[in-house]
Amino acid sequence: MLKHLAISNYALIDSLSISFDDGFSVITGETGAGKSILLGALGFVLGDRSDSSIMLDESKKCTVEATFIIDNERFKPFFEANDLDFDDELILRRELTPTKKSRAFINDTPVTAQQLKELGTQLVDIHSQHDSLLLTNADFQLEIIDNAANNNALLNDYQKVYHRFVLLRNELKSLREMAQKNVAENDFLTFQLDELVKADLQEGEYEEVSQKLELLENAEEVKTLLAQSLSTLSESEYSILSQLNDLKSSVDHLRRYIPQAEQYLERIDSTKIELKDIAQDLDSLQDSTQFDASSLNEIQERFDLIQRLMMKHHVNDYAEMLKIREDLQKKVGAFANIDEQIVAKEREVKSCE
């Protein structure tokens, strides 16, 4: 029921506040007393179209606020659907600013005029001898019957199941359309997947193949650089290690005259140990590095295959290539059992129906 109506700067009303008690209320008065203005203000706060001519003073804001007491569960779906707080006391407020901007609020939460109108039609039926009555609306008539029969709980349960039925039926329709229209697409996806599965792409393989290919393509230069490095360090007559031995001998003689030179001997020994380790590592690297020219063609073919697949699927990152293979597996897998999905969904629809 309407409990309170507050009007400010509306038509001929500067400010008015009126409360209503339980039961039947009648407002009487002579023509021009303002009865229609009250109804107009109520219609305004319930979502009727706003008109700047309703403002008594166009330099001030026009405001109409209506307070309702609602204890009917039938309003809850509206509040839940629009993410609004539901309370037994409902406050609607509509404002029209001097710039002719209309704003609407439900329990102090901003809403659209359409949301206000939707709730307003459920709260109040305003009509005159020239207006069409809400009572002629078939939905409203059915609502009255449900309310009279106290069917709200049953109706809510039915609506929940019906909404699920519609959802399941739409899902079944989508599955059937997929089965009919996507056969050609699935054949193409299966072909792409088979190609990638046959390629047997491995995690981190692209980088490894790239490195091997670069090594084999530059085998002679790598061999030369390793040999030069070992020669410089330890194998030539004037190698670094040989010269370090000469340096150590000189410093050893020098300490007879300069005792503090002894500290350099330890540092020279430490450097020799480090350089010997490097020489051993280079020697091992020279022995372990594979320069089998016969495998160059095999590595080149593998690299070219990966490159072709990446170009075909328009990716520059090898990890993306693996992701595409995973996605294709999911899509093809989903289509593979679509007939079983349809049968299962048909059972769900039948049960819900």
Question: Is 351 contained in some domain?
Answer: no
**End-to-end C-alpha distance for the chain, whole angstroms:** 38
Instruction: From first to last of the 353 residues of the chain, give the pLDDT tens digit.
Output: 899 999 999 988 899 999 998 888 888 888 877 888 888 899 899 988 877 678 888 888 999 999 998 876 778 888 888 888 888 889 999 999 888 888 999 998 999 988 898 888 888 877 665 555 667 778 878 888 888 888 888 888 998 999 999 999 999 998 888 777 666 667 777 777 777 777 777 777 777 777 777 766 676 777 778 778 887 877 777 788 888 888 888 888 888 888 887 888 888 888 888 888 888 877 777 765 666 666 777 777 777 777 888 788 787 877 787 888 888 777 777 666 777 888 888 999 999 99
Query: 200 and 341 share a domain?
Result: yes
Query: 231 and 321 share a domain?
Result: yes
Query: 328 and 220 share a domain?
Result: yes
Alpha-carbon distance values, 168 to 62, 182, 324 (Å): 48, 21, 30
Give buried/exposed letters for 225-242 (b at 16+ CB in 10 A, else e): ebeebbeebbeeeebbbe
Question: Is 38 contained in some domain?
Answer: yes
Query: 109 and 245 share a domain?
Result: no
Alpha-carbon distance values, 140 to 146, 149, 174, 241 (Å): 10, 14, 34, 103
Query: 91 and 217 share a domain?
Result: no
Query: 92 and 213 share a domain?
Result: no
State which residues form the domain around 26: 2-128
- Strand order across the 2-10 sheet: 13-19, 2-10, 62-69, 89-96, 102-106, 109-111
Please give the pLDDT value at position 223. 76
Query: 205 and 312 share a domain?
Result: yes
Of 107, 128, 149, the domain-final residue: 128
Of 104, 128, 152, the domain-final residue: 128
Please give the pLDDT value at position 270. 86
Question: Is 249 contained in some domain?
Answer: yes
Question: Is 352 contained in some domain?
Answer: no
Indicate the number of domains in the chain.
2
Alpha-carbon distance values, 331 to 190, 192, 312, 342 (Å): 9, 11, 19, 16
Query: 99 and 229 share a domain?
Result: no
Query: 207 and 87 share a domain?
Result: no
Question: Is 23 contained in some domain?
Answer: yes
Beta bridge mates, 93 = 65, 105
Question: Is 152 contained in some domain?
Answer: no
Query: 121 and 243 share a domain?
Result: no
Q: Tokens 């109706």 appear where?
A: 155
Please give the pLDDT value at position 128. 64
Question: Is 331 contained in some domain?
Answer: yes
Question: Is 211 contained in some domain?
Answer: yes
**CATH code for the domain in which residue 83 is found:** 3.40.50.300
Of 75, 110, 128, the domain-final residue: 128
